[in-house]
Structure 1
Amino acid sequence: MDIGSNEVFPGWRRDRGDASLTDVHRSIPVARSGSFWRRAFAFIGPGYLVAVGYMDPGNWATSLAGGSRFGYTLLIVALISNIMAIVLQSLCARLAIGSGRDLAQACRDAFPRPVAWVLWLMAEIAIVATDIAEVIGTAIGLNLLFGIPLEIGVVITALDVFLILYLQRLGFRWVEALIITLLGVIAVCFAVQVALADPNWGEVIRGFAPTTEIVTNPEMLYLALGILGATVMPHNLYLHSGIVQTRAYGETLPEKREALKFATIDSTVALMFALLINASILILAAATFHAAGNTTVAEIGEAHNLLSPLLGLAIAPTLFGIALLCCGINSTVTATLAGQIVMEGFLKIRLAPWLRRLTTRAIAIIPAAGVTIWFGQQGTGQLLILTQVVLSLQLSFAVFPLVMFTADKKKMGALVAPLWLVVFASVIAVIIAALNVKLLVDFGGALL
């Protein structure tokens, strides 16, 4: 029986239609017996693909700018953003496992066609903004490490689509293995850099304490919203609700409950890892640039050049460049998958897997490449921060539908979100919307 059919869930208006990511849907077997760890192992992977979006090059720009400008103060924003992310990504897994739909499919089903088209457009804008950040970051990483011109680096980033096609022919586990390996390299690079920077750990701890200055200071709020947009990313909500369904977790209620438990553990652990990386970037900027009086560092290339004289070791900028390149490669891979989920889910376009990926990649990378080549090396830091603010402004268009769907018992059946989780997620959605309204008001006042 189709787990997304009206016979099972009368709250949906029509059948789910094609499964999300049809070429890898339910392709990874799940152990039905054995130890807890053996059963849980099958679900390790999607959370780390999602975590990639929480440490992409856009995060680097906002964290570098925040750390250099305000020291450790904005660490609390990274923490709060991460808590929001954990809650929202758990709802994505719940939606996917409970209804058999990804977020894009659910929006297409639940809303009138004009509304669904607007939501699709918002999702595409978010993916384009994401790709701008990732293309810039990857191109800068190639430039810093190998001296490849920015324009050529942009073209090279388009080749990730062929990497995805090759790995998925081997199996979706190979995609996850690549992502997790590169995340390990990133972690090692930052562990060494933070150790070399020797931050004031007392100030680091105080940085996780809340302060009203973040809301009252427009410049700090702008960077805080950039961190929020770089952390809780709209495309990740679509991505997670799609790739969770690569697991063949079964169709009975007990099997779905266990799948939801393991998927939530996977994403929570992965996002805590992402918090460590994001905090490390901000701590590194605070301990090196802010402490030395360099409070206007927003360019990734500038940060790379300053690390060697400030830390006294030539290896520091090399590690920085390697971590940046790994982040960029990871992020372009996951953004391409998210683009495919969004296009298939909203528009129900049926194309061959290779053509779907080329199409979704082109929609995102053409404007991203144009902007990157136009701006060149100059101003890329500010452009990266701007893309993250754009993502923050798009976030509500994905968060509110997600909360609505998972709180609806007619749509979710026995896996409907408990009341406490619905309240918590609703508060998060309102906070995100309120901060975005304040940002627009502040910008409108500045323009007038």
Structure 2
Amino acid sequence: MITNESLGNVHNTVSTENKTGWRKLLSFLGPAYLVSVGYMDPGNWATDLAAGSQFGYKLIWVLLLSNMIALLLQNLCVRLGIVRGLDLAQASKHSYPRFVNFCLYILAQISIIACDLAEVIGMAIGLNLLFGLPLIWGVSITMLDTLLLLFLMNKGMRKLEGFIISLIFIVGLAFLLEMFIVKPVALEVAKGFIPTELNQRSLYLAIGIIGATVMPHNLYLHSSLVQTRKIDRSDEGIKNAIRYNFWDTTIALNLAFFVNAAILILAASAFFGRGYHEVAEIQDAHKLLTNIFGKLAPALFAIALIAAGQSSTVTGTLAGQIIMEGHLNLRIAPWLRRLLTRIFAIVPAFFTILHAGEEGLGKLLILSQVVLSLQLGFAIIPLIHFTSDKKRMGKFAINVPLRILAWLFAVVIVGLNVRLVIEEISSWAAENPGSADIVNYVATPIAGAIGLLLLYVFIRPLLFKHAGQPSYVPHGLAASLDNLEAVHYNHIAVTIDFSKNDEDCIRHALMQGGKKATYTLIHVVETAGARYYGKQVMDNETQSDVNNLDKYVDALTKLHYKAEARIGYGGPATAIAEIVNTEGIDFIVMGSHGHKALKDLIFGTTVNTVRHKVNVPVLVVKPGARK
């Protein structure tokens, strides 16, 4: 049995059992909406605006094709997550060597940074258009969404889903109102759903639309989010879960298709029909809307852009957590991971604004979509392999017709994206002759190495049939329980902070060691003097703490317990760990401060830090915990 859980803090937290009818369906609705925001982020806006302004309604069918591909691939993710209880990154970890998984992680992380870059730019542009805020300040403000994500994650999965759905509603409502303002011609819109021949320019945009729509991080994300639902693990229960999630996915992605189609129709009606055929910049679209329709339409446009950017950035963070834990078994605090990802996205945005101005942001936005296209094959190919594996998926493996359709879509997507990358590299070399050496000796070899890795990812599952057990799992496999004799601790440490927690901590320590153990009461002085001068300090607070600690020791001694006092100085976690390691202590009892969310950022998490600095058991006593 695999012991790790994708998004462990919200795994199986939404109950679907003992519900029927529409209540049962509602309990499954949510994961696909978090995924759908990736299909309407600022990167999609750029390609949709360019397509609508240059070709009118003619490329709506490409949007529809992209949506059909997305529906198939996201439903494969649903099947993988529900049946095997693994997200895509975890399944890759069990099927590919560690080095390959490391490479897959790097590529996936680059794609998330590229996606986050699009959100940073979109958010900054939206704030600039709505409030006139300079772009450089708009980019800086996007750092604050780290705190927003931390707050939402602590509120639970349902609250997070509610927040995202609210933002999607704002985007959809804004564009619905836009449609009433621009008044598109219904017959011309309908003709746009009929496939037409693509010339070189329209093919380039079609590739961009598909690349911007089917995003790799969404595949990782969806395979994990479906596991937040607690389901009946019988064959019938799994079948029902797949069916309900199918409807969740279909509804959510069709809403995303509506938003993308609305952007394209808006551009076609407002710009193409009036002779503005080269509107590729979001700022240009906003200015033209102002000139043509007054203030309401551009205001709605900017509001929708901000909502789309903010919702996408939250789901990008979740995808980052899934990819890091799945491929590398590396877990860090969500706020720290969010901060690092956002910093990597903000740096290029900052430099672009400073050196190339607003025009450079548009080019950077398109570049982010090119980077995304590189990663797409590394998510799609393993996904099809995993969901086709009858040995691991059993009766829920996809059938032959669906498998053929999936591989056909994969060939189309990878082929078009490879062509896009080749054309981009060629154009870079042609436009900048001075950088030809960089293109020939850096960009081209990197692209070639990535191509070979993609080939390996495709061939490996065909050549090697793996056993049911993974080659390695995050926490190891369960050991046999053949020796369960009671453990006796001889030297127990109790952390003291002179609060109401002290009595509970001492009580629990005595329960562990009784009269035979020695008890070391530890208190850490955290004054500025203590941090700088350590044991040499003897200020008023230090002297008071020493006296108070001695009172505890005297009380325990009168009750015939062996007790002693130890004072630490400076950082609590480091000081506690140092005393424990030097005194030969074999058990620690600590009080939990009960901080949540923002207070953890301010006051720190001493308990977790101590746990990683010592090699003995730690008992954490919550405030008010009594036997």
TM-score, normalization by structure 1 = 0.91
Contact kept in structure 2, 1:96 and 1:242, CA below 8 Å: yes
Is the aligned partner of 1:79 residue 2:60?
no
Is the aligned partner of 1:19 residue 2:2?
no
Contact kept in structure 2, 1:226 and 1:386, CA below 8 Å: no
Distance 1:27 1:412, change over 3 A: same
Pick one of 184, 188, 194 that aligns with 1:199: 184
Query: 1:285 maps to what in 2?
Result: 267
Distance 1:441 1:149, change over 3 A: closer
- Mapped partners of 1:143, 1:263: distance in 2: 38
Amino acid at match of 1:70: F
Query: 2:490 maps to what in 1?
Result: none
User: What's the CA shift for 1:159?
Assistant: 1.8
Pick one of 171, 177, 182 that aligns with 2:156: 171
Greater alpha carbon shift after TM alignment, 44-53 vs 410-419: 410-419
Query: 1:252 maps to what in 2?
Result: 234
Distance 1:239 1:417, change over 3 A: same
Pick one of 403, 424, 446 that aligns with 2:405: 424
Is the aligned partner of 1:344 residue 2:329?
no
Amino acid at match of 2:299: T
- Mapped partners of 1:390, 1:360: distance in 2: 15
- CA-atom RMSD, angstroms? 1.8
Query: 2:54 maps to what in 1?
Result: 69
Is the aligned partner of 1:116 residue 2:101?
yes
Query: 2:612 maps to what in 1?
Result: none
Greater alpha carbon shift after TM alignment, 116-125 vs 42-51: 116-125
Partner-residue secondary structure (3-state), 1:272: helix
TM-score, normalization by structure 2 = 0.66
Query: 2:418 maps to what in 1?
Result: 437
Distance 1:375 1:177, change over 3 A: farther
- Mapped partners of 1:400, 1:41: distance in 2: 32
Count of paired positions = 429
Contact kept in structure 2, 1:98 and 1:256, CA below 8 Å: yes
Query: 1:381 maps to what in 2?
Result: 362
Query: 2:77 maps to what in 1?
Result: 92
Pick one of 166, 186, 196 that aligns with 1:181: 166
Partner-residue secondary structure (3-state), 1:50: helix
User: What's the CA shift for 1:360?
Assistant: 4.8
Is the aligned partner of 1:60 residue 2:41?
no
Query: 2:396 maps to what in 1?
Result: 415
- Mapped partners of 1:65, 1:409: distance in 2: 43
- Mapped partners of 1:245, 1:369: distance in 2: 37
Distance 1:115 1:371, change over 3 A: farther
Q: Deviations over 1:235-282 (max 9, x none)?
A: 100111111111111322222211111111101110001101000000
Q: Deviations over 1:197-249 (max 9, x none)?
A: 11122221111111222xxx222222111111111101100111111111111
- Mapped partners of 2:346, 2:328: distance in 1: 19
User: What's the CA shift for 1:419?
Assistant: 2.0
- Mapped partners of 1:280, 1:332: distance in 2: 22
- Mapped partners of 1:128, 1:356: distance in 2: 11
Partner-residue secondary structure (3-state), 2:5: coil
Query: 2:201 maps to what in 1?
Result: 219
Pick one of 104, 108, 114 that aligns with 2:89: 104
Greater alpha carbon shift after TM alignment, 24-33 vs 372-381: 372-381
Is the aligned partner of 1:208 residue 2:193?
yes
Amino acid at match of 1:257: K
User: What's the CA shift for 1:162?
Assistant: 1.6
Contact kept in structure 2, 1:127 and 1:364, CA below 8 Å: no
| Superposition pairs of residues 116-135 of structure 1, within 5 angstroms | 116-135=101-120
- Mapped partners of 1:368, 1:298: distance in 2: 18
Is the aligned partner of 1:32 residue 2:18?
yes
Partner-residue secondary structure (3-state), 2:276: coil
Query: 1:317 maps to what in 2?
Result: 298
Contact kept in structure 1, 2:370 and 2:420, CA below 8 Å: no
Pick one of 308, 314, 317 that aligns with 1:333: 314
Amino acid at match of 1:22: G
Partner-residue secondary structure (3-state), 1:310: helix
- Mapped partners of 2:339, 2:30: distance in 1: 24
- Mapped partners of 2:341, 2:422: distance in 1: 34
Distance 1:131 1:369, change over 3 A: farther
Unaligned stretches of 5+ in structure 2? Answer: 431-627
Distance 1:354 1:105, change over 3 A: same
Query: 2:467 maps to what in 1?
Result: none
Unaligned stretches of 5+ in structure 1? Answer: 6-14
Pick the structure with greater CA Rg: 2
Identity %: 50
User: What's the CA shift for 1:361?
Assistant: 4.6
Which has a greater percent of strand? 2
Contact kept in structure 2, 1:339 and 1:361, CA below 8 Å: no
Q: Deviations over 1:72-97 (max 9, x none)?
A: 11111110000000000000010100
Partner-residue secondary structure (3-state), 2:189: helix
Contact kept in structure 2, 1:139 and 1:153, CA below 8 Å: yes
- Mapped partners of 1:384, 1:439: distance in 2: 15
- Mapped partners of 1:236, 1:372: distance in 2: 29
- Mapped partners of 1:77, 1:84: distance in 2: 11
- Mapped partners of 1:18, 1:361: distance in 2: 27
